[in-house]
Structure 1
Amino acid sequence: MPGPAVLQPYDPAWPIRAAQLLAAVEQALKPLGVGQSFEHIGSTSVPGLKAKPFIDLQVRVRALPEPALLDQALAPAGFVPTTGSRPDSPGVYRDIPRGSEHESGQVPDEVWRKRLFVHDVDGPRGAILHVRLVASPWGRYTVWFRDWLRAHPQARDRYAAFKTATAAEHAGDADYDDYTLAKTAFFDEAQAEFEAWGRRS
C-alpha cells in the first residue's frame, strides 16, 4: 500500500462494510474449522476517530493453518496475502511483542506469529485482515484498545490529535510504515491504562 498515511473523518459506513467482510471471511474459513472470533478493530472501528480509509479486521484462530490452505480459503472472500510495503514492514508475519505478559516472560515467542491479507487495496472499500492466534496478546490488545477508546472520548481525542500530528510528520513518506512504527509512542504511553481497563472489563 504505497503512499503516506492520509487520515479521513470517521465514516459511519465503515462498520457496515466491516460486518459484510467479516461475514464473508467467517463463511470462507468454516471448512478449516479454525476461526474462533471475527472482529472489526483499528481506528475505523471507533466512532468519531479519524482513520486511514482501510478497514482493519481480525480473525483469532486456534492454530494457524498451512499458508497455502489459508490463502486458498480466503481467496473467494477477496482477500490475498501481502508482504507489506517493505521487506521489514511491521506486523506482516509477526506482531512486535509488548505488554505486561511479554515483560513478565509469560508468552512464548511463537504466539506472536500471524498472517496478513488485503482486500481491494486500491479501491474505496479497502480492508486489511489480521489472522492471529487466540493465544496472542496482540489479539486481546486490539479489542481492549478499541473498546477503551470507545468508552473514553478524551482518550480517543488525544489519540486523534497524536495521529494527526504523526501523519503530518510523515506526509512525505513513500509508504506509511514509519507512521505505523511512530504510533508505538502512543501505545507505550497508554498500554498500562487500556490493558488494566481491559482486564477489569
Structure 2
Amino acid sequence: MPRSDAGNPARLVAHDPSWSLIAQEELAAVAQALEDVEGGSEAVLDHIGSTSVPGLAAKPFVDLQVRIFPLPAEGALDAAFARIGYRRAHGSRPDSPGVYRDLPRGSEVVADEVWEKRLFVGRDGTTILHVRRMDSPWGRYAVWFRDWLRAHPDQRDRYEQVKRGLSAENRGKADYDDYTRGKTAFFDEVQAAFEAWGRARP
C-alpha cells in the first residue's frame, strides 16, 4: 500500500482485470450454495460495483449481488453461505449504509420491505455479497449503473474523480461509511439518466 494511503479505509487502487475472474468463480460457488435455498434456482447473480467497470479505480473489494424471491428469512442463508466461506456482515456502525436495507431512491415507489437486504463477506474480506429481493429497485439500479458507466467513459471518469476526492477526505477514519454516504450526491445527479438509459434497453 502506498504510504499516502496508509490508514485510509476508502483507499482506491487501479482497476484489476482479475476482478472479473474472481467474480465469475465466486458467483459459481454462490449459485451452487443457493441450490437448496427457497427461490435459489431462480436467483439472478451479478458482478456489480466499481470492480465490475473496466478502467474504473475502486476499493479492492469485489461486490457481488443475488436477486432472489422471496428474500430468505433472517439466518436462512447463513449455513448455505458458510459452506463457501461467507459470513453475515453487520456493518461498522449501527447505521452503516446498505447492510440491512438499501436507502430508498429513484423513481419507483415500493413497499418498505422491498428495500430489505442481507449482506455477507467472503472469507478473506475481499468479496462482498449483497442479497436483495428480485423486485428491489436497487437490484436493477446496481446493474443499470454498472452498464451505464461501461457505456459512457466520460461519466466513468467523472465518477472516479468524485471517488478520489472522497477517498482523500476519508483518510485516517475508522471505516469507509462516510465515503459511501458521500457518493450519494453523484448518484442523485445521474440517477434519472442511468434509469432512463436502463429502461430503454431491450
Partner residue, 2:3: none
* Aligned counterparts, 1:91-110, within 5 A: 91-101=98-108, 106-110=109-113
Give the secondary structure class of the aligned counterpart of 2:135: coil
What is the TM-score with the length of structure 1 in the denominator? 0.93
Post-superposition CA distance 1:142-184 (Å, at most 9, x none): 0000000000000000001110011111112110000000000
Q: Any gaps of 5 or more consecutive residues in structure 1?
A: none
What SS is found at the alignment partner of 1:39? strand
Partner of 2:14: 9
**Identity rate, percent:** 62
Partner of 2:69: 62
SS of residue matched to 1:67: coil
Letter in structure 1 aligned against 2:122: H
CA RMSD of aligned residues (A): 1.2
Q: CA deviation at 1:68?
A: 2.4
Q: What's 2:54 paired with?
A: 47
Q: 1:3 to 1:120 in 2, by over 3 A?
A: farther
Alignment-mate amino acid for residue 35 of structure 2: K
Query: What TM-score, normalized to structure 2?
Result: 0.93
Q: Tell me the CA shift for residue 3 of structure 1.
A: 5.3
Per the alignment, residue 20 of structure 1 pairs with 25
Counterparts in 2 of 1:167-182, with a 5 A limit? 167-182=167-182
Unaligned runs of at least 5 residues, structure 2: 1-6
Q: CA deviation at 1:65?
A: 1.5
**Aligned mates of 1:91, 1:147 — CA distance in 2:** 21
Partner of 1:135: 135
